[in-house]
Amino acid sequence: MGLLEDHGFRADDAEAAIAEVAPRVSNAGRWGADDVLGTMNFLTDEKRLEGARLVRHGRSFSLSMPFDMDGPQRGWRRRTNPVHTMLDTGTDAERGVQGFPHGIGGADDVIAMPLQCATQWDGLGHIFDHGMAYNGRRAGDVVTGLGDAITGIETVADRIAGRGVLLDVAHVIGGGELPDGYPISTSDLEQTAAAHGIHVGRGDLVLVRTGQMGRAKRDGWGEYAGGPAPGLSFTTADWLHRAEIAAIATDTWGFEVKPNEFEPGFQPLHQVAIPHIGLFIGEMWDLEELAADCVADGVYEFLLVAAPLRVTGAVGAPLNPIAIK
């Protein structure tokens, strides 16, 4: 039997599983009818101070993949890699065609990209369940052609900094890398935390390493964007709710295991975690250098500063997260 069956779910009935799990993990109304922060309510000033106290050496790690044309996107639902274009160049400056006085010259550039084409946060307006958004709101009342007017990513632009914890499941369970299609269980998460000697709890920013990003950097992107991947099992929904974490991010394109555990099915854990738990999900984070440092010194907690780009009304946003140890 698989994880789904062990938990009493049928692999051919995602609808029933979601309907069963969603009510018991729902945070709707927990912080009032007007709440727009979801699990970011757990990330308090005290948690940010706790994260700051974890800085001992000042070593910093960028957890972002490069934002360039060599990314993994293959055009699914119009998601393309970033297009970086120069508006002014050194060549223009040398030739004196920029129109500036007394010999000054400069360079300028522009980037065009979907907001979720590389390292990014999913906001609370990104996923709905049967037309309903986080906190019991109608999806059409939240996100229109003008953007997310209620839970836009800008609502958390000043909040996402605090105690980060790395759960290197790939190292503890997989010997360095998890195979594509591996469903990470609650037991895997708890076993990894125990092996690292850390407790995961309220207000934490949790990073889960599967090793897939490292494999893609070594072997090429292949089907990284939307193809088979290790990731969290649908059965972790109760843990995600019970742990009261503020956010969770992985080194994969879609956070949860691919192919999904249900057939037919598409991202069922998203359908529970975002509109019901109100959980912020990060994807395509590069955890390789941080993980190597954690293995070297045995310390798996750190200050994590991970503010999204403040795009008004966005349902997700890119970022360059920094872990500081």
What are 60-96's pLDDT values in tens digits?
A: 999 999 999 999 999 999 999 999 999 999 999 999 9
Q: Give every CB contact of residue 290 below 8 A, 6+ residues apart in sequence.
A: 61, 63, 166, 207, 302, 323
Helix or strand or coil: residue 266? coil
Q: Give every CB contact of residue 139 below 8 A, 6+ residues apart in sequence.
A: 128, 131, 132, 133
Q: Give every CB contact of residue 306 below 8 A, 6+ residues apart in sequence.
A: 63, 121, 160, 161, 164, 205, 247, 249, 282, 319, 321, 322
* pLDDT for position 58: 97
Per-residue pLDDT reduced to its tens digit, 162-196: 999 999 999 999 999 999 999 999 999 999 999 99
Taken in order of first residue, the domains within the chain and their CATH numbers are 3-76+114-324 (3.50.30.50), 82-112 (no CATH)
Residue 320: which of 160, 127, 109 has the closest Cα? 160
CA 141 to chain centre: 25
Query: Could you give the angle at which helices 288-297 and 212-219 cross, rounded to 10 degrees?
Result: 120
Average pLDDT over residues 37-43: 98
Q: Which tokens is 193 given? A: 């935390």
Residue 1 pLDDT more than 70? no
Distance CA 300, CA 192 (A): 11
Distance CA 249, CA 306 (A): 11
- What pTM value is reported for the model? 0.97
Per-residue pLDDT reduced to its tens digit, 271-296: 999 999 999 999 999 999 999 999 99
Distance CA 162, CA 323 (A): 10
Distance CA 213, CA 282 (A): 14
Per-residue pLDDT reduced to its tens digit, 230-246: 999 999 999 999 999 99
Q: What is the 3-class SS of 47-109, one letter each residue?
A: HHHHHHCCCCCCCEEECECCCCCCCCCCCHHHCCCCEEEEEECHHHHHHCCCCCCCCCCCCEE
107 contacts 84 by C-beta, under 8 angstroms? no
> Confidence band (pLDDT; 50, 70, 90) for 2?
confident
E strand segments, 197-290: 205-208, 231-232, 247-250, 280-283
DSSP string, 251-264: SSSSSB-BS-SSSS
Q: Is residue 17 within a helix (H) or strand (E), and if so which, with residue range?
A: helix 14-25
Distance CA 22, CA 30 (A): 14
Q: Which tokens is 244 given? A: 């009261």
Dihedrals phi, psi of 112, to nearest 5 degrees: -125, 125
